[in-house]
Amino acid sequence: MLFLWLYMFYSCAGSCAGLTTRGSPAPPRAAPPLPPLLEEQRAAPDAGSPISSFFNGSGTKRLPQAIIIGVKKGGTRALLEFLRVHPDVRAVGAEPHFFDRNYERGLAWYRDLMPKTLEGQITMEKTPSYFVTKEAPARISSMSKGTKLIVVVRDPVTRAISDYTQTLSKKPDIPTFESLTFKNRTTGLIDTSWSAIQIGIYAKHLENWLLHFPIGQILFVSGERLISDPAGELGRVQDFLGLKRIITDKHFYFNKTKGFPCLKKAEGSSKPHCLGKTKGRTHPDIDQEVVQRLRDFYRPFNMKFYQMTGQDFGWD
């Protein structure tokens, strides 16, 4: 009997110790402290660790490994929208303008603008004004010398007219394209201070980038071929980024009204998607003599650009 009593006493000790008075709940037991490593991860998960994905919801915000740096009115928006179809590309929708207008905000601010990515995905952004910003190459190189750069280029004369057309839609009272093109129309001296003209001197801007990046780290996409053969140009871009060729002909259809290709299915949607009404505007009629003078002006710069890039874009 004594042994039975002792057995019951010791069996109850573990489970009954938490009871204070009959019918009263036991006070909560303090959770055992986490090991030091887990305690640090709970407070500030490592950006690259699997536990980070758990605490952050899905993926990690990273600085971009690739940037579409130009050019304005070349087709950068179309390229970005096409690339976002790829499951391994995550891109900022709006233009951050970090390396030209917001650099003083710092890299932490810039990183926070980026979408979260999983391991193996590429973070991208596009800001076309970077290509003509003198400080941008050194700033991007300072962030990462390995950043891949993409430049969408287009016939500089057509690009200038498109640039003017965009401005005209916002400011209908601006002077004519012809009057803005020349410093003196009688002498035929082109006004290279006008941004619409200046942006198209691609060779001049590229020289600045080659001081900080090797030519093999910059991909030049033809704005014309992006319209005539979007799948072909996207194939080159996917290869350049080290991505599997997932975006193909089956993703596009040609919109005759707008005059350029559209996506059969946009990112996150089952519906066809074309760029907005601000894209594909009808250009005003420009005096053909002025157009020819511009072609003559750009020709030597185009030739130099072809030599620098090893590509003939067929603008002449």
| Model pLDDT, residue 267 | 58
User: 316 falls in which pLDDT band (50, 70, 90)?
Assistant: confident
Angle between helices 288-309 and 156-170 (to 10 degrees): 120
CATH code assigned at 295: 3.40.50.300
What is the per-residue pLDDT for 279? 55
- Per the domain annotation, does 265 fall within a domain? yes
Compute the half-sphere exposure of residue 267: CA atoms within 13 Å on the CB side of its CA.
16
Give me the catalytic one of 72, 73, 126, 148: 73
CB-based contact 232:221 (threshold 8 Å): no
Which of 24-38, 112-126, 279-293 has the lowest average pLDDT? 24-38
**Residue-range definition of the domain harbouring residue 169:** 60-309
Q: Does residue 43 lie in a domain region?
A: no
H or E element at residue 47: none
The pTM (predicted TM-score) of the whole model is: 0.79
Q: Residues 247-282: pLDDT tens digits?
A: 999 999 888 776 778 998 655 555 666 875 555 568
281: annotated binding-site residue?
yes
283 is in an annotated binding site: yes
Q: How far is CA 166 from CA 72, 177, 222, 268, in A?
A: 11, 12, 20, 29
Say what the pLDDT of residue 41 is.
32
- Distance, CA of 280 to CA of 287 (rounded, Å): 21
Q: Tell whether residue 185 is among the known ligand binding residues.
A: no
How many CB atoms lie under 10 A from the CB of residue 136?
A: 25
The proportion of the chain whose per-residue pLDDT surpasses 90, expressed as a percent, equals 69
Give CA–CA dist 250/272, Å, rounded. Answer: 12
Over residues 155-170, the mean pLDDT reads: 96
Across the range 88-94, mean pLDDT stands at: 96
Asked if 154 contacts 71 with a C-beta cutoff of 8 angstroms, the reply is: yes
Question: Residue 277: its pLDDT value, please?
Answer: 56
Domain count, the chain: 1
Length of the chain: 316
Ligand-binding site membership of 73 (annotated): yes
Cβ atoms of residues 150 and 78 within 8 Å: no
Q: Is residue 42, in this structure, part of any structural domain at all?
A: no
What's the 3-state SS for 102-157?
Answer: CHHHCHHHHHHHCCEECCCCEEEEECHHHHHCCCHHHHHHHHCCCCEEEEEECCHH
Tally of CA atoms within 13 A in the half-sphere of 201 that contains its CB: 15
How far, in Å, CA of 235 to CA of 82, rounded? 11
**Model pLDDT for residues 51-60, shown as the tens digit of each residue:** 444 344 579 9
75 is in an annotated binding site: yes
Residue 279 lies in a domain: yes
Interval 107-126 mean pLDDT: 97
Name the pLDDT band for 185 (thresholds 50, 70, 90).
confident
Considering the domain boundaries, does residue 52 fall inside one?
no
72 catalytic per annotation: no
What are the structure tokens assigned to 55, written together?
């605490």
- Distance of alpha carbon 262 from alpha carbon 172, whole angstroms: 29
Alpha-carbon separation of residue 238 from 53, 80, 83 (angstroms)? 26, 12, 8
Tens-place pLDDT, residues 206-239: 999 999 999 999 999 999 999 999 999 999 999 9
What pLDDT sits at residue 47? 38
